[in-house]
Every structure is written in structure tokens, then in C-alpha cells.
Structure 1
Amino acid sequence: MSDTGWMRRYNEPAQVTTGPDGLPVAITAWGRTYRVAEQVEPYWEAQDPWWTGGGAGLPIEALTVRHYIVRAVGPDGSGVLELVEQCGEWRVAGVWD
């Protein structure tokens, strides 16, 4: 991701616009809009544990978390972000320095 490999962790709510393929094309977070310039890695999915935190009985889709690593370009330059989506809600999980 970067020369240092350090990522600052956030849990910032975001509004994400997706393209026809379902991949992010624009992100609004921290009051700024960023254009997704590239997918740095293929997205992946993980499952929240169904046996803890009230997950028992939830449909699998409610437990599915999708992770996207993208390079985004905004008013102050560009950066590599980790976006996560669960049940239609998006967050910026981290930003690489």
C-alpha cells in the first residue's frame, strides 16, 4: 500500500457511489468527496461471528462484511483507503500514510 505500510484506523461513516459492477466509484467522508481512481486489491468478504453479539438467527447477508482497498483522489491529493460495507452501510476503516 505504501512504503511504510502503516495504516491509520478510522470508523468513519461514508456515502459511497457504486458503478454497475457494484464497485465503489466515489466516496464522501469527512465532508469531502473523493473519486476512486483504482481498485488496489480485489475486494474480499468476511463473516461476522453468528454466535456472538446477537448474530444468532440473522441471515448470512447481515453478517457479511465486504472489504475494498482503493486509491481515491480528492481535493487534497490521493490516498489508499480501506472501505467496508455491511448491510448497505459504508465506512472508511483505514487510510494508509
Structure 2
Amino acid sequence: MVVLRTGNEPITARSPLRLRFWLSIWGLIWTSGGTAAFAAAGLPGWSIACAVLLLIVVVDLVMVIRHIRQGSRFQPGPDVPPYEPPAHR
């Protein structure tokens, strides 16, 4: 099996979405718990920091769920291929 590299793998790389989903759930649990615990302890600065992280985790979770629902064959448009074709030599 020959693996062809296009040289733009960071752009066309695919993320393990299920792993990102479960890591986002883990982050959701910890940041919501941290926000509640710091608020209960009377530490507003730490509570705000955890709330900002909670917002970032929620946005990431929404994007991961959106990408999972789009499926592995999602194309942004009919004229945009998922990968650039390799150059013929």
C-alpha cells in the first residue's frame, strides 16, 4: 500500500471526533464542578476563570457534535474536494 502525501496534512487532517467528544464531556464535568465549588467557597476570580473555560468547552462540544452529525463524507461544496489530488509525476 502506497501512502500519498500532499504536503498539507495539517489542513486536511481529520480529528478523532469521538475522543474529542468524551474529552469535552470530561472537561464539562470538571469546569462546571470547579465553577460551582469556587462560587460556593467565595472565590469569584477562580469561579469566573472556570466559567470561561466552561464556555470554551461547551463551544467545542457543540462543534464536535455538529461535525459528528455531518458524517465522514461531508463536503463543504460541490466543487471543493476533501483533499487536493496528488500531483502526477
> Fold match, TM over 0.5?
no
Q: Indicate the structure with greater helix content.
A: 2
TM-score by length of 1: 0.24
Higher strand share: 1
Give the TM-score normalised by the residue count of structure 2: 0.25
Specify the structure having the higher radius of gyration (Cα): 2
